[in-house]
Amino acid sequence: MSEDIVEYKVERKTKAKKKPQKRVKSTAMPETKNGRPSKYKPEYNKIAFEAARKGMNDVEISDLLSITEKTLNNWKFEYDDFFQSLQKGKDCYDGQIVETALMKRIRGYEYQEIYSELDANGKPIPEKTRVVKKYIGPDTNAIRTWLFNRNSKRWAANPTQQGDGTAKVISDFINALRPRERETDET
């Protein structure tokens, strides 16, 4: 199917185009940009920053501003302040949300599960409820990602083939962070 699309594009490119009429430049009038004026407004910088800071992608931001994604990309190129606002918002989101989640996966974390017995009507029985604390251990892929981004020369993509003890360091690191699972009953 992709070959059909490629052939179609090739055929479209080879079609003959009409020659545009020559425009005569007037020396009396200053040269201006052709086309309609841009919808861009400087206040869009703040809107774009806030939207990117909340984790919205370019498609969602363009919908928010009632423009197409292509227009958003053009504005990024034409208006440096707009581009900088988007980048700062995306950096804030990455720093606050994504890095925090990555650190949680690196260290491991505890969470609680609540188990309840149900009566004949399907409602939980309060006396038969127990809370179980569970632990999710550190994620080796998250650790590898963090270490590789911090020092890519030392932490190659495949540490088991290095023979310099890198795999043992990661294993020891995981074991040091892993507490035991605990279970508590609440009645």
Name the residue with higher pLDDT: 32 or 36: 36
Instruction: Please check the confidence at residue 114 and state whether its pLDDT lies above 90.
Output: no
pLDDT of the residue at 84: 93
- For 6-67, the DSSP string reads HHHHHHHHHS--PPPPPPPPPSSSPP---SSPP---TTHHHHHHHHHHTT--HHHHHHHTTS
Q: Is the pLDDT of residue 132 over 60?
A: yes
Taking 60 as the threshold, does the pLDDT of residue 152 lie above it? yes
Average pLDDT of the residues in 122-135:
86
Q: Is the pLDDT of residue 148 over 60?
A: yes
Kindly report the pTM of this predicted structure: 0.47
Contact criterion met (CB below 8 Å) for 57 and 50: no
CB 167 within 8 A of CB 159: yes
